[in-house]
Structure 1
Amino acid sequence: MSKSTFPSLMIVGCGDVGSRLGRQLAARDWRVHGLRRHIAALPLEVLPVAGDLGQLECPDSWPIGPLDYLVYCAAATQHDEAGYRAAYVEGLRNTLGWLQQRGQTPKRLLFVSSSGVYAQKDGEWIDETSPAEAQSYSGSVMLEAEQVALQSGIPASVVRLTGIYGPGREWLLKQVREGYRVASEPPLYANRIHAEDCAGLLAHLLESDRSGVALEACYLGVDNDPAALHEVVGWLREQLGVSQWSEEQTVRRAGSKRCSNARARALGWEPRYPSFREGYAAILAGKQD
């Protein structure tokens, strides 16, 4: 098989999750391009494209010729409304403009979104059909960006990830080591997905589309166990041998909801780390995937 017959993918915003996706698909003979400002951080399996999402002109190193798929998984570097709008709305619009400049029409666009679009906070179960009525600027901007993707003229799906953790994303472990306290009543439900499973879900959606499977417009990316936070903290305390408690409760989360991955699993995807136990055990064992 020649290189030209491999399915081609552009990952825009090729950071941690994007790089994991690139490695997974490159191992399956995909031709993977990755765009980011600093291309030295890209894995060797990903063809580098240096670019700035704030620019209207297509980057010089953007590939020429057909581009089969595009995954947009940028991350805001400025955490205010202007920063979110620049990263998710304007950046996506500029990327769509680059496709037009190159005369490219991918078979599908995957837009990586967030469960922050949901405002539910009383422990409700959430799926893709639940009302998305964000009350924060971050969720509202993400909903706007989702519509840009869905109305782009390219077949598109949004993938709402939630609670990404993994190597280098160890805030909760740090807090638990410092005696993190969390109330058990009422239970504060939190949702998680390991970074490698984020990439695995995106890869599964792309492979499914490539195989002719009709994809939905929206998927939730989450593991099988939206556990109460006090349960997660208790388990981690045992694993880490932590006995002390901080003097104050340090919970900073305002929401409590349980996200379902039933739609993604019905498509045949299964998370490698089905719950926080397997995922955090791998981190504590020093595994990088």
Structure 2
Amino acid sequence: MNVAILGCGYVGLELGRQLVESGHDVVGVRRSYDGVQAVESAGLDGVRADATDEESLSAIPDVDTLVYAVSAGGRDSDAARTAYVDGLRTSLSHFSGRDAPPKRIVYTSSTGVYGDRDGAWVDESTPLEPKTERQEILADAERIVRERGMDWTIARFAGLYGPDRYRLERYLEGSVSERYLNLIHRDDAAGAVRFLLDADVGRNEIVLVCDDEPIWKPTLVEWLADQCGVEQPSRGEATSERGRSSKRCSNRKLHQLGYRFRYPTYREGYQDAISAYRKAENV
């Protein structure tokens, strides 16, 4: 299989590594020279192109599968619309117009599309009811993918963590708001997409990519503090709508499809970070 990963960054690099290990040919696409160097340093073929610039996309070779994993590069709505709507629409228009278009697109979406559900459970069948501009943008992007006319898979990622993104200090030193968190280790986020492609499952379906255990944030922070041997952080109120959003995401469908998690919960996923923290602090 020939795969192009647009936005070959945090998850994309790991996905590329896993796909190469599975015997696939992978092209990682970034818009900066430094980004392309990071792709090539990971052992992948790198191409410099911008998802919003159709002419630059011509540098990408024909592929069987297109993975769109472009990030917004900022939290404001304009950045989100550029990455998730404008770039996606431009990229799909370009690739669908080729003589040999991709047979499948995988779009990496976000569980943020659900917004705040007051701690209720959500799954792939839960209707979307966007209440903010950013949520509407996320929903618009998913509609663009479904309406393009090629086979698609939408992978809705929970909160990503892993190497370089454990954020232990943020949890251990800040105040803790009361809400549910849904997490996915980077290696499992990439692993789930690799599995969907390798097993050729999830076509024209939405798949929630989250681990086995939505966790009450104070419980997570208390556990991390205990494991790291530090005092418990204080409780506080979230200051942003995103920080107040609370829901519990079900990964039942991903399990039913056959994916096996490397890090089923935060307990396994944070062990490397905890060990490094304790070593650095001589705990």
TM-score, scaled to structure 2? 0.89
Which of 123, 147, 157 aligns to 2:153? It is 157
> Aligned partners of 2:259, 2:30: CA distance in 1, in Å?
28
> Aligned partners of 2:28, 2:151: CA distance in 1, in Å?
21
Once the two structures are superposed, residues 28-84 of structure 1 have per-residue CA deviations (whole angstroms, 9 ceiling, x without a partner) of: 110000110130111432110101122121435311x4x111110100023322211
| Match status 1:249 vs 2:236 | yes
> Aligned partners of 2:132, 2:159: CA distance in 1, in Å?
17
Which amino acid counterpart does residue 231 of structure 1 have in structure 2?
T
Residues 8, 69 of structure 1: 8 Å contact kept = yes
Q: Point out where structure 2 has 5 or more consecutive residues left out of the alignment.
A: 277-283
Aligned to 1:147: 143
> Aligned partners of 1:181, 1:44: CA distance in 2, in Å?
36
Aligned length: 270
> Aligned partners of 2:42, 2:223: CA distance in 1, in Å?
37
* Aligned 1:207-218 pairs, distance under 5 A: 207-209=198-200, 213=201, 215-218=203-206
Residues 32, 45 of structure 1: 8 Å contact kept = no
Which of 1, 7, 28 aligns to 1:13? It is 7
> Aligned partners of 1:224, 1:244: CA distance in 2, in Å?
25
Alpha-carbon deviation of 1:130?
Answer: 0.6
Once the two structures are superposed, residues 112-145 of structure 1 have per-residue CA deviations (whole angstroms, 9 ceiling, x without a partner) of: 1011111343211110001111212222101101
Aligned to 2:213: 225
SS in 1 for 2:260: coil
Aligned to 1:51: 49
> Aligned partners of 1:214, 1:281: CA distance in 2, in Å?
31
| Match status 1:202 vs 2:193 | yes
Distance change in 2, residues 1:150/1:60 (3 Å): closer
SS in 2 for 1:57: helix
Aligned to 1:177: 172
> Aligned partners of 1:16, 1:84: CA distance in 2, in Å?
17
Distance change in 2, residues 1:110/1:276 (3 Å): same
Alpha-carbon deviation of 1:216?
Answer: 4.7
Residues 121, 254 of structure 1: 8 Å contact kept = no
Residues 190, 257 of structure 1: 8 Å contact kept = yes
Residues 15, 194 of structure 2: 8 Å contact kept = yes
Which of 2, 24, 38 aligns to 2:18? It is 24
> Aligned partners of 1:26, 1:250: CA distance in 2, in Å?
44
Which of 96, 108, 113 aligns to 1:112? It is 108
> Aligned partners of 1:132, 1:278: CA distance in 2, in Å?
31
Residues 50, 56 of structure 2: 8 Å contact kept = no
> Aligned partners of 1:141, 1:182: CA distance in 2, in Å?
26
| Match status 1:41 vs 2:31 | no
* Aligned 1:77-156 pairs, distance under 5 A: 77-100=73-96, 102-156=98-152
Percent identity of equivalent pairs:
37
Which amino acid counterpart does residue 175 of structure 2 have in structure 1?
Y
Which of 260, 266, 269 aligns to 1:276? It is 266
Aligned to 1:238: 226
Alpha-carbon deviation of 1:148?
Answer: 0.8
Once the two structures are superposed, residues 197-246 of structure 1 have per-residue CA deviations (whole angstroms, 9 ceiling, x without a partner) of: 1000000111121xxx4635201010000011111011000111111544
Distance change in 2, residues 1:35/1:234 (3 Å): same
Which amino acid counterpart does residue 145 of structure 1 have in structure 2?
A
Which of 241, 248, 254 aligns to 1:258? It is 248
Distance change in 2, residues 1:148/1:278 (3 Å): same
Aligned to 1:3: none
> Aligned partners of 1:216, 1:94: CA distance in 2, in Å?
20
Task: Give RMSD over aligned pairs.
Answer: 1.9
Aligned to 2:280: none
> Aligned partners of 2:270, 2:134: CA distance in 1, in Å?
27
Aligned to 2:279: none
